[in-house]
């Protein structure tokens, strides 16, 4: 029997990452407690290596391998480069935080890299099975990371909730995919699209499958009413893990939705568009209104994420190149803002103290004017106030959805954004107009100080000059 060796070139970054994860785990086993920093440096080198390989194999044309189950195109390369940069930033921000709490071990870095591998597979999948495998690899890594602080009952409870609801979401997705397979007889996204376009299939079975798939996507995108797990996981997980959960996986989720809903089920746009409108409005209403009542900053940012995901869905509702590219721009902007916000929360934390309450930000300007300034920029950006990147991201998705005639949806989104601005501005008021509750100085590493400065600068510069990131987003979608 002849065996055709698949072309491995498109998957070089994934293969390299898998090998390096093994190296990181073995290194952590061999070196002693004093040389644990080697795992950190190896993880960073791995991400740099993946970026070099991705750039080396970069092509504007789509390259398929593994019997058409894996694709390497411009969108996948750009999304992967964003993922590498995000994970590298997360590891730098987390370095001191996890060191103080006894989590600076190979497990943290190997799980982070395994999760990165899952994201890369999700982004490059062109087959329902590959999509599911990537999603599960990411999900299982995240469950383990949330439960990494074994002595914490809050973290264990959060991990259990995350696992149970995540498994339910995976079940929905798998059942939906099986219904699509039953209707079309294929699991390749491109073939599914062709068969649906031919009009020779049972539409009713396909729609039932589509409902389950959209419900599963709702879970993964934190979209209401499937958002229940997000606030508990954000609050219960160690802040370094919360930062990881709330940042890079959103880029992978965008790729996942593009492969599944646009590439595979794009012909059913009229059917899933209505479902996404309901998810988007529910997310913005619940996210913005419930966030106002929160006193825990991590829980508040979880509800903030839910409302931001409503805006991300706007781009998919618009169903066109402008819509998808504005969604990608929004996700990138959101990840940038989240990195900075959780980075500052970790900088305010110290041994035996978690800076988790909103009141912990009282008088931050008197303790550290630099951090207060960066946090103010991030909050203004999340609220969508010009000239921050958050303003342009909101403007882009609103223009896209307005372009396809959803005037009422645009009005609702603007009104809810105005309401939601309250809880972001409250943080600024606490930092600049309230007296600090503690006078403990804020100390952190130079690398983290530099990174938070770049983070804050990027939020304002990409808001003033958004053309580069928007052009990159449009290029990724068009190719």
* Contact status, residue 369 vs residue 299, Cβ threshold 8 Å: no
pLDDT band at 3 (very low <50, low <70, confident <90, very high): low
Compute the mean pLDDT over every residue in the chain, rounded to the nearest whole number.
Answer: 90
Q: Render pLDDT for 118-154 as a digit per residue (tens, 0 to 9).
A: 999 999 999 999 999 999 999 999 999 999 888 888 8
* Contact status, residue 190 vs residue 266, Cβ threshold 8 Å: no
Distance CA 324, CA 338 (A): 21
Task: Report CA-CA distances (Å) from 417 to 234, 327, 422.
Answer: 22, 17, 9
Q: What local confidence, expressed as pLDDT, does residue 286 receive?
A: 93
Q: What local confidence, expressed as pLDDT, does residue 285 receive?
A: 93
Q: Render pLDDT for 7-40 as a digit per residue (tens, 0 to 9).
A: 888 899 999 999 999 999 998 888 877 788 889 9
Structure tokens at 34: 């004093």
Task: Tokens 């498994």: give the residue.
Answer: 167
361 versus 1: the higher-pLDDT residue is 361
Q: What local confidence, expressed as pLDDT, does residue 349 receive?
A: 85
Residue 340 forms beta bridges with which residues?
A: none
pTM confidence score: 0.94
- Whether pLDDT at 325 is above 90: yes
Tally the residues of the chain. Answer: 479
Q: What local confidence, expressed as pLDDT, does residue 135 receive?
A: 92
Q: Burial letters for 377-395: b for 16+ Cβ neighbours within 10 Å, e otherwise?
A: bbbbbbbbbebbbbbbbbe
Q: What local confidence, expressed as pLDDT, does residue 2 receive?
A: 59
Q: What is the largest distance, in Å, between two alpha-carbon atoms of the chain?
A: 77
Mean pLDDT of 275-282: 93
Q: Render pLDDT for 367-403 as a digit per residue (tens, 0 to 9).
A: 889 999 999 999 999 999 989 999 999 999 999 999 8
Residue 186 has a CB neighbour count (10 Å cut-off) of: 17
Respond yes or no on whether the N-terminal peptide bond of residue 225 is cis (omega within 30° of 0). Answer: yes
* Contact status, residue 360 vs residue 316, Cβ threshold 8 Å: no
Q: What local confidence, expressed as pLDDT, does residue 36 receive?
A: 80
Task: Tokens 């989240």: give the residue.
Answer: 338
**Which residue, among 287, 283, 288, 286, has the nearest Cα to 418 in the 3D structure?**
288
Distance CA 320, CA 215 (A): 22
pLDDT band at 479 (very low <50, low <70, confident <90, very high): confident
Q: What is the DSSP letter of 70?
A: E
C-alpha torsion angle, residues 281, 235, 217, 407 (rounded to 10): 20
**Which residue, among 120, 122, 147, 133, has the nearest Cα to 21 in the 3D structure?**
120
Q: What local confidence, expressed as pLDDT, does residue 198 receive?
A: 85
Q: Render pLDDT for 430-471 as a digit per residue (tens, 0 to 9).
A: 999 988 887 777 877 888 889 999 999 999 999 999 999 999
Phi, psi of 5 (to 5 degrees): -75, 125
Q: What is the DSSP letter of 126?
A: -
Structure tokens at 91: 């590891």
pLDDT band at 306 (very low <50, low <70, confident <90, very high): very high
Q: What is the DSSP letter of 264?
A: I
The HSE-up count of residue 119 (CA atoms within 13 Å, CB side) is 29
Question: 440: Cβ–Cβ under 8 A, 6 or more apart, which residues?
Answer: 350, 367
Mean pLDDT of 275-281: 93
């Amino acid at each position: 029997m002849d065996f055709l060796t698949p072309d491995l070139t498109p998957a070089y970054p994934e293969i390299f990452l898998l090998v390096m994860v093994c190296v990181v785990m073995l290194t952590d086993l061999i070196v002693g407690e004093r040389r644990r920093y080697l795992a950190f440096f190896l993880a960073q080198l791995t991400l740099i290596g993946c970026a070099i390989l991705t750039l080396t194999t970069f092509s504007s044309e789509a390259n398929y391998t593994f019997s058409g189950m894996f694709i390497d195109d411009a969108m996948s390369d750009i999304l992967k480069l964003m993922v590498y940069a995000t994970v590298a930033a997360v590891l730098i921000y987390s370095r001191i935080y996890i060191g103080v709490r006894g989590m600076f071990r190979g497990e943290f870095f190997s799980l982070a890299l395994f999760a990165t591998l899952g994201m890369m597979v999700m982004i490059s999948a062109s087959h329902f099975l590959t999509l599911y495998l990537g999603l599960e690899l990411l999900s299982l890594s995240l469950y383990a990371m949330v439960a990494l602080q074994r002595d914490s009952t809050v973290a264990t409870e959060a991990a259990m909730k995350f696992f149970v609801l995540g498994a339910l979401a995976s079940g929905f997705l798998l059942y939906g995919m099986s219904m699509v397979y039953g209707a079309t007889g294929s699991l390749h996204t491109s073939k599914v699209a062709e068969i649906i376009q031919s009009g020779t299939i049972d539409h009713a079975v396909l729609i039932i499958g589509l409902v389950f798939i959209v419900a599963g996507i709702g879970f993964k995108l934190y979209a209401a009413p499937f958002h229940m797990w997000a606030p508990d996981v954000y609050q219960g997980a160690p802040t370094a893990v919360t930062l990881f959960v709330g940042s890079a996986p959103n880029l992978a989720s965008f790729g996942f939705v593009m492969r599944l809903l646009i590439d595979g089920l794009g012909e059913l746009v009229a059917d899933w568009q209505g479902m996404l409108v309901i998810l988007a409005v529910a997310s913005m209403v619940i996210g913005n209104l419930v966030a106002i009542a929160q006193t825990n900053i991590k829980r508040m940012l979880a509800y903030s994420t839910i409302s931001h995901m409503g805006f991300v869905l706007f781009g998919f509702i618009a169903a066109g190149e402008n819509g998808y590219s504005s969604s990608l721009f929004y996700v990138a902007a959101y990840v940038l803002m989240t990195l900075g916000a959780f980075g500052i929360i970790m900088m305010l934390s110290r041994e035996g103290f978690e800076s988790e309450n909103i009141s912990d930000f009282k008088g931050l300007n008197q303790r550290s004017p630099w951090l207060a300034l960066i946090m103010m920029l991030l909050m203004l950006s999340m609220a969508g106030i010009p000239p921050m990147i958050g303003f342009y991201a909101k403007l882009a998705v609103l223009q896209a959805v307005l372009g396809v005639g959803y005037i009422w949806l645009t009005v609702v989104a603007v009104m809810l954004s105005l309401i939601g601005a309250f809880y972001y501005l409250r943080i600024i008021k606490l930092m600049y107009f309230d007296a600090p509750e503690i006078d403990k100085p804020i100390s952190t590493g130079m690398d983290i100080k530099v990174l938070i400065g770049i983070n804050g600068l990027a939020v304002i510069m990409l808001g003033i000059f958004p053309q580069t990131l928007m052009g990159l987003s449009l290029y990724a979608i068009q190719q």
